[in-house]
A and B are shown apart, each in its own frame.
Chain A
Amino acid sequence: MDRREFLKILSATVAGFALFGCRDGLLGDMPVKGARLKLADFENEVKFALSKMKPGMELVRVPMPAALKTPGASQENRFGMAIDLDACDACGKCVLACIQENNIPLSAPERANRGQFMHWIEMCGGAPAMCFHCGDAPCEKVCPTGAANHTPDGVSAMMYKRCTGSRFCGANCPVHARKFNFDDPVASGRSLKFNAGVPVREKGVMEKCSLCLQRLQDARHDFKALHPGESFRGRGVTTACAAACPKNAIIFGNWLDEGSPLVRAAKDRVLYAPKAVASLDPSIVYMRGHR
């Protein structure tokens, strides 16, 4: 065998293995046939996550979120949440409610032991933290496919079918709110479809808090069908975590609507955001103390 022939065989073999590595299905992820998951499995994972709580984030004062400056942004709606640090006792019910609303899969045991969960809400130093839906979101700027984008009403949305899994967004998120599906949640038997209205994400797709986008969409459509011509202000909509909180510490609403429960709750409170995202115009803020 001469040098030329050796290189040919080598490159052909490498090309063959590379092509084989691209396969998904045939000899790829084999479906796991185990015991069917129960809600208790997810409850236990939330308890485990609470026992591995991350340290708290440094908070700085922020003003009340205003309308987005980006072209095409709505001047009527900017959806967001305020988390009352005086009321929250880190019970973790919001995490479980989020799992059930958004069909979040269990984390693989070896990843869970390292404290890596798929939960969109995580307890950091005794307070829930999720994607802060920054108005000036750094994750969206680095998405090569446009899968991470902003709605005109202030939700940082993920188009899962567009995501090719570059993970640039996860690397550029200052608070690590994005979670990557390293394996197929369905094929690995770690997901349970609680909510038929939310698709389960596939392997190689980034996911994060969507501010219960599906609830906003459904409410908006129902509203527009019944009140054509009127503008939707998001009244009556709430997120799963806010609805589940026994202390009413998470409040969802429209920052630009004076009558919104969010504005009424946050009006005379001092608002904080993690230092890492405070300059990025977050839609989700913490509130503590009275002014």
Chain B
Amino acid sequence: MKYWMGGIFAVVCAFFLADFLFCQKATPVRVGADAGGPNSIAFLHELHGENIGLDCSHCHTGAASGARAYMPAKADCMDCHRLPLTENPGIEKLDSALAAAPAYPWKHESALPEHVVFHHGVHAAAGVECADCHRGFAGAQPGAKADVYGGENFSMQMCLACHRGETFKQKNFRRAATYCAACHR
């Protein structure tokens, strides 16, 4: 009797093991940004944002009204960095690093699965500010990537909680759609 129980248990365990080893893993929902090349000077959000008052959507075009917020191209940096900006001796090093930078120094792929729609501009238009979902950059490390609401633990429940008005109560956001096809396709 015990021998057979053990046998069945082993078979079941073997299938679970096979499932663990060979089966496709659930796609994690993560959003992150890639850092620049190994010799690049890390971008400091604090220096550009809080210091000189640049709006997020100035570099991340589309953040305010588009479906997604884009990463800036080198040409966007050069709009300002064409000119000698400071007396700082480090600026020459920065200029040479910028000259050597690729045309598109940053890449960002949304980790949302393709059956989910997230329109950046709709949330911005509804009064959600950048820092509500993306961590502020005050005191952040150079080259730090923007944090996304929920981070690794992000789930649909977090979307729904805000859409139902359960989170961000102090911001008084309007209730948003919670029917499936509002965000899923």
Contact = CB atoms under 8 A, between A and B. Distances in A.
A19 B185 contact: no
Contact of A25 (B7, B22, B113, B119): B22
Interface stretch (A8-16, A243-251, A254-262): A8-16
A29 B8 CA distance: 26
B22 A26 contact: yes
A159 B182 CA distance: 11
Contact of B18 (A26, A161, A162, A214): A26
A225 B22 contact: no
B181 A157 contact: yes
A159 B185 CA distance: 7
Interface stretch (B88-96, B122-130, B162-170): B122-130
Given A24-B23, A160-B115, A218-B67, A224 B122 contact: yes
Given A155-B181, A226-B65, A161 B12 contact: no
A199 B185 contact: yes
Nearest to A210: B185
B52 interface: no
A23 interface: yes
Interface size class of B (residues with CB under 8 A): 20 to 34
B79 interface: no
Contacts of B19: 23
Contacts of B22: 25-26
A213 interface: yes
A151 interface: yes
Contacts of A162: 180
A159 to B, nearest CB: 5
Interface string A196-220: 1111000000000010011001100
Query: Top 3 nearest A-B pairs by Cβ distance?
Result: A225-B121, A221-B119, A157-B181
30 contacts: A8-B4, A12-B8, A12-B11, A15-B8, A16-B11, A23-B15, A26-B18, A26-B22, A26-B23, A155-B181, A157-B180, A157-B181, A159-B180, A159-B184, A161-B115, A162-B180, A197-B114, A210-B185, A214-B117, A217-B117, A217-B181, A217-B182, A217-B183, A217-B185, A221-B119, A224-B122, A224-B125, A225-B121, A225-B125, A226-B65
